[in-house]
Amino acid sequence: MSALSNPTAETPHVSVLLEEVLSAIAPASGKRVVDATFGAGGYSRAFLSAGAEVIAFDRDPTAQRFAAPLAAEGRFRLVEAPFSEMEQHIAAPIDGVAMDLGVSSMQVDEAERGFSFMRDGPLDMRMSRSGPGAADLVNGEEQAELARIFYVYGEERQSRRIASALVRRRAEQPFTRTLDLAETVERALGGRRGAKAHPATRVFQALRIAVNAELTELEQGLDAAERLLGVGGRLAVVTFHSLEDRIVKAFFTERAGRTPGGSRHLPPQTGGPKPSFELLFNGARTPSEAEVAVNPRARSAKLRAGVRTEAPAWRVAA
Ligand SMILES: C[S@@+](CC[C@H](N)C(=O)[O-])C[C@H]1O[C@@H](n2cnc3c(N)ncnc32)[C@H](O)[C@@H]1O
């Protein structure tokens, strides 16, 4: 079997919206494409199969284990770095940038990574395996800051109540394990009360986003992609929750010159930056029922995509 075939037992992450991303990026021989979130390499394999050269990024050092078979293709390299730093590793112009945000199945399923409230593991959640982890935040942040994290990154309405319960509990015994945190959150909310999702879902999402600075990464990654893409280059972004999608939607709406709020009674605004993207399609593409049936993790995915125009990038590099 070729190293470019579909996922197998060695590549346990099933790629989401793969056909749609392929059609948005249009990889081909002679094209240079960035896979900004390598994971198990599903997108990279498909881009390579289409003949493109692929520069992949993943800030998780364990992603390297899926890279070795692809490196043999000669048109591939994986850089261990956050995608916000992609400009430090590649020269413009690039023909495509694909982002498939969030965590991989390998990260969630491995209890030792501490991403899951279903599996007992250390309270970690660091994609890069460096810097402060979730336990540092839960045990070290002020109560008001914890409440803010849960409210802003988890859209958790009971954020203050949960933060107060965690601060009381950690004074007796600091948190070190995922299940301990999940159970404490559940108790603070008065149990499950018939809810479909686990009561700690939002708190875990919030901590993961905070630990990995995911929203700042996304904003900086989109700006970097805009600067790197040549005219006609394509940007495709798959999001998994509303906070991510809001950022991507606002980016494309703004860069395509479609920002609402202008008055139809006034002449169009002039003098602002020219649109740096044309939308590839209106709105977001979502997975088919068939895809969700096979891969339930795809259910909240949304793809947005655009084609780079010749207008300059809106933001210069910091
Ligand atoms: C959903 S998975 C990607 C799966 C991949 N498309 C596939 O088909 O196998 C997301 C991956 O992106 C990585 N990642 C998330 N945010 C990142 C960032 N800001 N910089 C670099 N890698 C990131 C995660 O470590 C994870 O391995």
121-161 residue pLDDT tens: 999 999 999 999 999 999 999 999 999 999 999 999 999 99
Provide, for the chain, the percentages of residues in helix, strand and coil under a 3-state DSSP scheme, each rounded to the nearest 5: 40, 15, 45
pLDDT given for residue 7 in this prediction: 46
Pocket of ligand 1 contains residue 13 by CB under 6 Å: yes
User: pLDDT tens digits, residue range 61-85?
Assistant: 999 999 999 988 799 999 999 999 9
Residues 237, 99: contact at Cβ < 8 Å? yes
Question: Can you tell me the distance from the alpha carbon of 248 to that of 251, in angstroms, rounded to the nearest whole number?
Answer: 5
pLDDT attached to residue 6: 44
- Report, as an integer, the average pLDDT of 300-305: 98
Hey, how many other C-beta atoms are within 10 angstroms of the C-beta on 174?
Answer: 13
Query: Mean pLDDT across the chain, nearest whole number?
Result: 93
- Closest ligand 1 atom, residue 60 Cα: 25
Cβ atoms within 10 Å of 260's Cβ, excluding its own: 5
Please state the separation of Cα 220 from the chain's center in Å: 12
The length of the chain is 318
Is 50 exceeded by the pLDDT of residue 1?
no
The pLDDT value recorded for residue 197 is 86
- Does the C-beta of 244 come closer than 6 Å to ligand 1? no
Q: Ligand 1 within 6 A of 15 CB?
A: yes
Q: Which amino acid belongs to residue 271?
A: G
Q: Calculate the alpha carbon distances from 294 to 7, 13, 197, 275, 288 in Å.
A: 13, 12, 20, 38, 10
What's the confidence (pLDDT) of residue 318?
A: 78
The string of pLDDT tens digits covering residues 214-226 is 999 999 999 999 9
Please give the pLDDT value at position 2. 42
The minimum-distance atom of ligand 1 relative to the CA of 82 is 20
More confident residue, 197 or 166: 166
Q: What is the pLDDT of residues 175-215, one digit of tens each?
A: 999 999 999 999 999 887 777 889 999 999 999 999 999 99
At residue 58, the pLDDT reads 98
- Long-range contacts of residues 287-295, Cβ cutoff 8 Å, at least 24 apart: 287/16, 287/17, 291/16, 291/17, 294/14, 295/14, 295/16
Residue 14 pLDDT level (bands cut at 50, 70, 90) = very high
Evaluate: CB of 54 within 6 angstroms of ligand 1. Answer: no
Q: Which of 20, 83, 97, 104 should be mutated for ligand 1, with most atoms under 8 A from CB?
A: 104
pLDDT band at 294 (very low <50, low <70, confident <90, very high): very high
Q: Which atom of ligand 1 is nearest to the CA of 35?
A: 6
Give the mean pLDDT of 243-252: 98
Indicate if ligand 1 lies below 6 Å from the C-beta of 41.
Answer: yes
Per-residue pLDDT, averaged over 17-44, amounts to: 98
In terms of pTM, does the model score above 0.85?
Answer: yes
Identify the pLDDT of residue 268.
55
Kindly state if the Cβ of 44 falls inside 6 Å of ligand 1.
no
Closest C-alpha to ligand 1, atom 15: 102
Predicted pLDDT at 275: 97
Q: What is the structure's pLDDT at 73?
A: 75
